[in-house]
Amino acid sequence: MAARVAAAVAAALLAAALLLPGAAAEWTLTKKGTVVSYDERSLMIDGKRDLFFSGAIHYPRSPPEMWDKLVKTAKMGGLNTIETYVFWNGHEPEPGKYYFEGRFDLIRFLNVIKDNDMYAIVRIGPFIQAEWNHGGLPYWLREIGHIIFRANNEPFKREMEKFVRFIVQKLKDAEMFAPQGGPIILSQIENEYGNIKKDRKVEGDKYLEWAAEMAISTGIGVPWVMCKQSIAPGEVIPTCNGRHCGDTWTLLDKNKPRLWTENWTAQFRTFGDQLAQRSAEDIAYAVLRFFAKGGTLVNYYMYHGGTNFGRTGASYVLTGYYDEAPMDEYGMCKEPKFGHLRDLHNVIKSYHKAFLWGKQSFEILGHGYEAHNYELPEDKLCLSFLSNNNTGEDGTVVFRGEKFYVPSRSVSILADCKTVVYNTKRVFVQHSERSFHTTDETSKNNVWEMYSEAIPKFRKTKVRTKQPLEQYNQTKDTSDYLWYTTSFRLESDDLPFRRDIRPVIQIKSTAHAMIGFANDAFVGTGRGSKREKSFVFEKPMDLRVGINHIAMLSSSMGMKDSGGELVEVKGGIQDCVVQGLNTGTLDLQGNGWGHKARLEGEDKEIYTEKGMAQFQWKPAENDLPITWYKRYFDEPDGDDPIVVDMSSMSKGMIYVNGEGIGRYWTSFITLAGHPSQSVYHIPRAFLKPKGNLLIIFEEELGKPGGILIQTVRRDDICVFISEHNPAQIKTWESDGGQIKLIAEDTSTRGTLNCPPQRTIQEVVFASFGNPEGACGNFTAGTCHTPDAKAVVEKECLGKESCVLPVVNTVYGADINCPATTATLAVQVRCKVSGAQAA
């Protein structure tokens, strides 16, 4: 026993001796902990360099019941680390009142990571941006006198430090830091400060130095980082955020490792945006460019985006967040992104010794062609990254006496500096496409009832002022909605004499959308967009002799999440006039205005069983504004994700069993002619087997009978591979830290694998020649061979998986067709077979 204790103490002392900048001395001799430090090459675990493949998964954007599966799937993707922000306004909605339940149970989430033997990166901020409402800052901060966010400002620094220390202590109490035996190996203070530093000048530098000193003083025992910076104070590590950090970022402090805290796997989207994708090939290219130049940590932002439930999204941000990530909004693997990156991680990890400890060298092989090499001659280890950085120009280069084909904007990994085992442009994993299915259970009892909100009058409002008030100061971020109302008298001489002329109300607003009523009649809607700071509501209306009542329901689609002026952002009516009257323009801005924050349904929680009972419901009608609709539905069988299709509605909020599913806005049509998002995730964790309450608040006009409850599958799988571009990839396996060559791929093949318990039941598309498009949207080209579908059906139907050769003779293709790319495109549909279903 004494010998074991002595050995443990000796090991701890050795670790202490190996410590380099970034490790906190007070944690060095912890009995069960891990020493986390760093050198110029990488983060170090117990004195050893390591590689870190991390994925961002934000705990409030998925229910706790999903966390374990999400983390397990991320680990299957070759990750060893999970990153998350900490959400200040979720944890401290009121000063000194903290919340860590349900989706905000940070400790439970970190324990899930720990239970799966993965590391964690916790980005405390506490400003986070993250397309999250108000950038994660609680609204109540705005009401503190003389406060300036993220500046050398005592009121802000006082509140920031109080929250940071509270979170750190909570994490320490739960033993979450690596030196305590927990998963956290890295923490972040502040967030992308470079974006606003130009507005802060010298005071910005003072604030950053204060933030770094404050963070280090918490004694967490793991390094701190500041992201999207080239230099950081003291021991804090500056890191990169962006798409191509290997080529766009310069680390000025050469004693610190190259870390990439945000590799954007897509582009977050706002209402009105078209589909934004980033290819698996481009992400892989960016990762290997970064690692080729010495990077050792990459964090995919996001790896799983999840859902902006309730009102948590920032201004205009879609409810579905980063749906194009390697795991989609529902937690399903998006191929080929998931598999292509998994293969990349596995290859680099298999040769980590040469990469982390080898001597580095660099060679220019031609215009746009490079080789970055890592060699350990004593161990006969060599790893090389061959890069072709030219756009649209494939090429062959000579490297160490051998010729290598390198496609445009790609990187090849050469094990032993001569064997190509991975190329970022050569995707061999299958593609997948989602399909949506309406079940019989959810279509039964599709009976809706409704309750319409009352339109307020000026004289019945409690908050009255001469001019319209600023919106956020009235709602306090407890609602998206603020009623503005005013009244005015007209004489017969004021109204237009001609019947073909109608008065027009013009309102300039800095909110996000607006619904108008004149004398209780619906006038119309108006909206802004993420790119516009304001909009003009301009609609004709009918007025009368006597008193006229105007009511405008102004809405915010979340508070802004970034910018140096965040505390000063305002919303609401800026100017209001009536045009087209016989007596000229009527200026209503100083006419006297009444205000009512929040809806009646929100105040009484109409979206709950208890709150619902306070209202008189009646059979639903179509196309009524400011109306609540309700129905019940049963949970669909199985475990496929569930969504609600809102295509028949316009704009509003969705609730299921009292849970806020999020904002919908299907009337905001993109340039492509369709909504940015029409289906919305309902996690199964929110449901019970029978009698689930679905409540919809429709602001504009909609047809509730068209709302569909659906399940989602990724049963459509595809291959898209060319014969003309030989893989030049060799089959390998890891053997004692080295890559062992098994055989060379002499032919290109495409493999299709169905999800568990499903077989290939239908060949949706098959073509060899010059097909175009993507999985789910292939089209045949001019060199299409009609035999392709029959060949694929014979090889694949009824099987769980099949392998298809990419050879023109197999499909009877005319290789002399002038436009051919010798490409095979196949889409098959997997289903539960009759025997399996029984």
Residues known to be catalytic: 192, 262
The dihedral sign for the CA sequence 63, 312, 210, 248: positive
Residue 797 tokens read as 């139907």
- What is the side-by-side order of every strand in the sheet holding 618-619? 618-619, 449-452, 627-633, 692-698, 651-656, 659-665
Establish whether the linkage from the previous residue to 126 is cis, with ω within 30° of 0: yes
Q: Write the DSSP string, 710-730.
A: EEEEEEEEEEEEESSS----E
The dihedrals phi and psi of 460, each to the nearest 5 degrees, come to -100, 0
* Nearest residue to 713 via CA among 642, 630, 797: 642
Rounded CA-CA distance 384/402 in Å is: 13
Per-residue burial over 428-449, b if 16 or more Cβ lie within 10 Å, else e, is bbbbbbbeeeebeebeeeeebb
Find the radius of gyration of the CA atoms of the chain: 30
Q: Write the DSSP string, 398-454.
A: EETTEEEEE-TTEEEEEETTTEEEEETT---SPEEEEEEEE-HHHHTT---EEEEPP
Rounded CA-CA distance 534/542 in Å is: 26
Angle of the 337-350 helix axis to the 280-292 helix axis, nearest 10: 20
Under a CB-based contact definition with an 8 Å cutoff, are residues 571 and 528 in contact?
A: no
The dihedral sign for the CA sequence 347, 228, 72, 327: negative
Q: Which run of H or E residues covers position 675?
A: none
Strands 546-555 and 119-125: unpaired
Triad 813, 818, 821: Cα angle to 5°: 60
Residue 544 tokens read as 């009368």
Under a CB-based contact definition with an 8 Å cutoff, are residues 325 and 283 in contact?
A: no
Question: Cα separations (Å) of 343 from 204, 295, 303, 370?
Answer: 42, 18, 15, 22
